[in-house]
Structure 1
């Protein structure tokens, strides 16, 4: 299978379609958001995506597209560019060190058609071990039909299958992991964490209002699109979002800003505790409510994060017209 360096079509009509699912590490074709890519300069690329008006998990809220669609688009761009631009073989693993985004809520308003997205990506800190990509940082500026949508940054390392297996030991064995997954704890009330269905709640209550347990439902068709040996990154982002909503409840808004630093894998065979802490900088006048979130497992930090919920203004009528 090959992918050309430019998925634009110069003809009477420009055609587009989702990229092959293997390039974005998804099993379900329906979950592929990316539609194309091209090189614009050394270590600089444009990746195109399309967001549906409705999604079974990343669903609109208050007339806004789910901002985690921006995070998932960037996540899909990581393996895509690793494979097609940096010649990473299939089977290698890309592992997040840091991830952040900041979204413009006005550009998240759901229009009368799917949202066409462009990710303008520059890569820095590109390192190699021999001929193999060792890691890099992506700096992303996103636009929607030419309007500024937001920014994102993702730093990750790339590991071969052999190195990954050495790092993970028995935890890389899916059968070993599956036999030791802890029972799924009961969910929080969906409304408290900004969800409509119990099935989509990724946190479980504890005796403390500021401490929850991660719910890693391996049967969830979106968060666990395919078998994995640890909690996926997008599950952890969703846990941060739900923890922030739970902390800010009953206030609702848009998760416009998120910064995360990852320290180790969140394993599936022991409880992972999600804690919320007061964050400096809360400004009721601007409607921005930052929340500090951290995860601990077996006495060690898994990640730290700061999530900012922005109270959304009433959604104006927006028409994104085709040219």
Structure 2
């Protein structure tokens, strides 16, 4: 389905997208990967967006009895281009780039019930900057609920770049085929159990000789992290690296990332190794609940940083055990 957003009236777009969101609006290649189910304008710069989280997703499926918290990030990531197109008139072909991303949630609201989760997002946009009639940047504050239960909040800021501006910004890296061709060899993965995964293919970290220092694995064949060709490491890959580094820091203790505070400093390129460092502050042992500081460094420069709050999971009242990692599913 193709829609020229600039020619559509807001009322027409509301009718068109109130019950289903075509993949083009959230910048996905496969329609089944679209989490969003509808959008509704509430007031100027305020919107209601709905989503559905599947329980059989082979990458973002439930783990340790809870919905994957990165579904929060992916839902908001899809909302960024959706509202850019339908609410702020951004034509297709423009790119939205994260600068900051934060969330804080109650893990009790993420407990998986065995069926799809219905998600509601109350979104307020602020600091809307336009130049020459075109959107330049926006800040979004999102309050989320899952199956009617308040989950928490998300705040993110992003910029919008036109097809004329982006190649000038990226220079030689704007050529996707050439950027991929220059990729460093894919390093071997950590053991999946160390990072709360069950498949080697889903591990995004490679071990080194230094404790809690790993190499980012950039696997262009991964069907979800690289749903479509890109010229740099996607933001969701970096968030996954921060989450996996947190699990590695927790050791054998089952934890869930109940908060993240992320800053994207620069693009992570394919042609140089990117090092992921996790640090646990004194008195903030992850096994007892605490914060893990994760940074990504490339060519001696910080490209990404995150502070992840790791909350230990309690054993089930019925079994006295914590459920194991997500089951291994084929793609």
**Same fold per superposition (TM over 0.5):** yes
Q: String of CA shifts for 1:99-138, please: whole Å, max 9, x gaps.
A: 0111211111111421100010001110011111000111
Distance in 2 (CA, whole Å) between partners of 1:37 and 1:316 is 38
Match of 1:5 among 10, 14, 18: 14
Contact 1:7 1:38 in 2 (8 A): no
SS in 2 for 1:166: helix
Q: Which residue of 2 aligns with 1:296?
A: 297
Q: String of CA shifts for 1:175-204, please: whole Å, max 9, x gaps.
A: 211220111000011101111010000000
Distance in 2 (CA, whole Å) between partners of 1:119 and 1:316 is 31
Q: Which residue of 2 aligns with 1:12?
A: none
**1:8 shift after superposition:** 8.4
Distance in 2 (CA, whole Å) between partners of 1:177 and 1:7 is 37
1:256 aligns with 2:258: yes
| Structure 2 CA distance for partners of 1:225 and 1:289, relative to 1, 3 Å | same
Q: String of CA shifts for 1:36-71, please: whole Å, max 9, x gaps.
A: 001101100000000011211012111110010011
Q: Which residue of 1 aligns with 2:181?
A: 179
Contact 2:280 2:286 in 1 (8 A): no
Distance in 2 (CA, whole Å) between partners of 1:42 and 1:186 is 49
Q: Which residue of 2 aligns with 1:311?
A: 312
Equivalenced residue count is 309
Distance in 2 (CA, whole Å) between partners of 1:271 and 1:175 is 18
Contact 1:117 1:145 in 2 (8 A): yes
Q: Which residue of 1 aligns with 2:140?
A: 138
Q: String of CA shifts for 1:66-98, please: whole Å, max 9, x gaps.
A: 010011000000000000000011111111110
The within-5 A match list for 1:77-92 is 77-92=79-94
1:22 aligns with 2:24: yes
| Root mean square deviation, CA, Å | 1.8
1:231 aligns with 2:240: no
Moved over 3 A (4+): 6-9, 314-317
Match of 1:100 among 96, 99, 102: 102
Q: Which residue of 1 aligns with 2:325?
A: none
> What's the TM-score once normalised by structure 2's chain length?
0.89
**Segment of structure 1 superposing worse, 232-241 or 104-113:** 104-113
The within-5 A match list for 1:142-181 is 142-181=144-183
**1:207 shift after superposition:** 1.1
> What's the TM-score once normalised by structure 1's chain length?
0.92
Contact 2:49 2:123 in 1 (8 A): yes
Gaps of 5+ in 1: 10-15, 318-323
Q: Which residue of 2 aligns with 1:321?
A: none
Q: String of CA shifts for 1:190-235, please: whole Å, max 9, x gaps.
A: 1011110100000001110121100010000000001000000100
Q: Which residue of 2 aligns with 1:210?
A: 212
